[in-house]
Amino acid sequence: MKLTSNNIFSSKIYSPRIWDPERNFVIQWHITPKCSGSCKFCYMFDSPGYKKEVEEELNKEQCLSIVDKISNYLEDKNLKGNFLLTGGDPILKDGFWDILEMLQIKKMKTIILGNAKLLNEENVSKMSLLGVDHYQMSIDGNEEIHNYFRGEGSYAETISKVGLLRKYNITSSFSYTISSLNCGEAPALILRAPMDKIFAIRYSRLVPIGRGEKYSKDLVSPEQYREALIKMYSNLSKIFLENNYPISFLSCDPLRTIPLLEMPQFMPNYFRSIVFTKKGCRKNLMTILPHGEVYVCRRLNIPIGNILEESMEELRSHSLVRKLEDPLSFKECLDCKYFKYCGGGCPSVTYAVKGDPFRKDPQCWVKS
Ligand code: SF4
Ligand code: SF4
């Protein structure tokens, strides 16, 4: 079969694993603003709401009631719950272990997006017993670049914790925030994956909000971004063919699919190792901040309510949620031939740069 941009995702041979947003609901929950790190482009520090997050952080009982509320809603809707616990550093939350236990009782899938610093035999084994499935840590380039962003010693510390997590059957992934300062290093990180035995590489683009606002001038250009993606795909192919290492390549970023659509013959062998997130923030995604404020995506800086004050139905029917779910909202992209796969790019980058999440993505290179 000749692959084209119309049949690439329906091809039996190259069919990728696709995250099904119709059956899954993702809750990214920043359970605490407490953190032992101080990363240079953190969205939390220096954001307008940071002071409130610290002063009004929810207590353990309120957090347990949130698990109850969301799990009841998901059961009613017949949706599978995926909780991504993060912070700050989630381990620093008072009541962290009770929250994990409650999630386990409610049969929610639990993933932690955290910090390597505080992981040790005792807490990793406890997380494993309480059903933590996966632990994501940040790596933002080679040792020098990463330590520049995240602090001296952070790179070696992060790499060293992968084995500890594996010992207790928790898979790990490295998450990479791409800017013009480090996009050349992202492909090299993929080549390290078999050696570090990591399960997945996840990446996202730098969004200039919070402390990241200072890095507005360091956003990748559309051409730089396309080139980095092509090199990443090339290295994914290399490690699959040479090491038979089918790493998962995770991202909610709709633009990452475009190089594969532009060149459908492009490195098909590892296609099944890629997990495509078809709708990202367009379906069944919710973010909760430490003081209960709700957003669609952490990076899309528009609050839609409060988890303790509004029902799940009210939050899910907020006008922003509806507008994101409606493809017709992305008017500048409707004529693009890739629209059915991309849906208009990343609203958070677009909002941070253009002040309107429904304009065309400023880092898209496609002429529409
Ligand atoms: S023009 Fe719009 S729909 Fe097309 S690839 Fe770019 S952002 Fe996506
Ligand atoms: S707004 Fe952007 S970063 Fe957030 S979920 Fe959507 S695509 Fe991903």
In tens, the pLDDT along 127-156 reads 999 999 899 998 888 888 888 888 888 899
Strand order through the sheet with 24-30? 248-250, 200-205, 171-178, 132-138, 109-113, 80-86, 24-30, 285-288, 293-295, 305-306
Segment among 109-113, 216-220, 333-337 with least mean pLDDT? 216-220
Q: Is the pLDDT of residue 14 over 50?
A: no
Q: What integer pLDDT is reported at residue 217 of this predicted model?
A: 87
Residue recorded with tokens 């996009």: 183
Residue whose CA is closest, atom 7 of ligand 2?
346
Total length of the chain? 368
Q: Is the CB of 19 under 6 A from ligand 1?
A: no
Q: What integer pLDDT is reported at residue 97 of this predicted model?
A: 98
Q: Is the pLDDT of residue 269 over 70?
A: no
Average pLDDT over residues 272-290: 72
In tens, the pLDDT along 173-232 reads 898 889 888 888 888 888 888 888 888 888 899 998 877 777 788 899 999 999 999 888
Residue recorded with tokens 């009841």: 72
- How far, in Å, CA of 356 to CA of 349, rounded? 10
User: What is the value of pTM for the model shown?
Assistant: 0.89
Q: Is the pLDDT of residue 275 over 60?
A: no
Q: What integer pLDDT is reported at residue 15 of this predicted model?
A: 42
State in Å: Cα 351 to ligand 2 middle. 11
Q: Is the CB of 360 under 6 A from ligand 1?
A: yes
Q: What integer pLDDT is reported at residue 11 of this predicted model?
A: 45
In tens, the pLDDT along 23-77 reads 889 999 999 998 877 676 666 666 777 788 889 999 999 999 999 999 999 999 9
Residue whose CA is closest, atom 8 of ligand 1?
344
The pair of three-digit structure tokens given for residue 274, joined into one six-digit string = 């890629």
- How far, in Å, CA of 206 to CA of 163, rounded? 28
Greater pLDDT, 228 or 267: 228
Q: Cα–Cα distances in Å, from 104 out to 22, 70, 239?
A: 22, 14, 35
Ligand nearest to the CA of 321: 2
Closest atom of ligand 1 relative to the 332 alpha carbon: 2
Confidence band of 264 (pLDDT split at 50, 70, 90): low
Q: What integer pLDDT is reported at residue 38 of this predicted model?
A: 66
In tens, the pLDDT along 192-203 reads 888 888 888 888
Q: What integer pLDDT is reported at residue 271 of this predicted model?
A: 53
In tens, the pLDDT along 336-363 reads 998 888 889 999 999 999 999 999 999 9
Q: Is the CB of 225 under 6 A from ligand 1?
A: no
State in Å: Cα 297 to ligand 2 middle. 6
CB contact at 8 A, 363 and 218: no
- How far, in Å, CA of 120 to CA of 135, rounded? 13
Q: What integer pLDDT is reported at residue 272 of this predicted model?
A: 45
CB contact at 8 A, 319 and 296: no
